[in-house]
Amino acid sequence: PLLLLVIFSTVFGGEEVKFHLYVQNLDNDSQLSIAFIEALNSTRAFEIEVVNKTNLADLIKPFSHPRLLVIPPGFHASAINSTVKSRISVIVSTLQIAKRYAKENRSEIERGMKALEEFNRSLPEEKAWLILYVDRTTQKLQFVQLWIALRARLTSNFSTQAKLST
């Protein structure tokens, strides 16, 4: 019982807990990657340090628990394509229902649906990835991943990928 009390007071205590998070933006400082970093920063759950180093081993200090979020190249484009693809699918689904009621415009609706479906097929099947590197001994990792995942849900097509490093 005492151990549970300590765990619950640590997790649900009133004190503000900030996690140090290195962020490496490899997406050439795109608008979306910058907005994502600002959104993470606005949560006040992270002490964010943007790094440009190519040798990530330099960030790891003895007895530290490094967390590195990498925004990969093409993040912005992948997110836009994924969002457009999702929205077109919603529009086509809506038009399926509309053509039942708009019988006089059915041929125009079907022609528009075919054009949208063709365009949608031309878009690449991709999701926008964020990569989180953490030390195996990092405590409260699930909390960090949850915050990042919540901030990454700008659309329903974002994915997070956690990689454990030693």
Q: What is the pLDDT of residues 94-141, one digit of tens each?
A: 888 888 877 788 888 899 999 999 998 888 877 777 777 766 655 555
In the numeric block, which tokens belong to residue 85? 């693809």
CA atoms of 151 and 66, how far apart (whole Å): 20
Q: Are residues 22 and 69 part of one domain? A: yes
Half-sphere exposure of 53 toward its Cβ, with a 13 Å CA cutoff?
Answer: 13
Residue 70 has pLDDT above 90, yes or no: no
Rg (C-alpha) for the chain, rounded Å, is 22
Q: Is the pLDDT of residue 15 over 90?
A: no
pLDDT tens-digit readout, 150-164: 555 543 344 444 443
**CATH code for position 37:** 3.40.50
Q: Which pTM value belongs to this model?
A: 0.60
Domain of 157?
Answer: 18-73+127-165
Asked if residue 137 and residue 56 are part of one domain, the reply reads: yes
Question: What kind and span of H or E run contains 100?
Answer: helix 75-101
- CA dist., res. 66 & res. 45, Å (int): 15
Tell me the HSE value of 151 on the side-chain side, using a 13 A CA sphere.
Answer: 23
Record the tokens describing residue 104, joined without a space.
Answer: 């006089």
Residue 5 resides in a domain: no
H or E element in which residue 130 lies: strand 128-135
Residues 96 and 159 in one domain: no
- Whether residue 52 lies inside any domain: the answer is yes
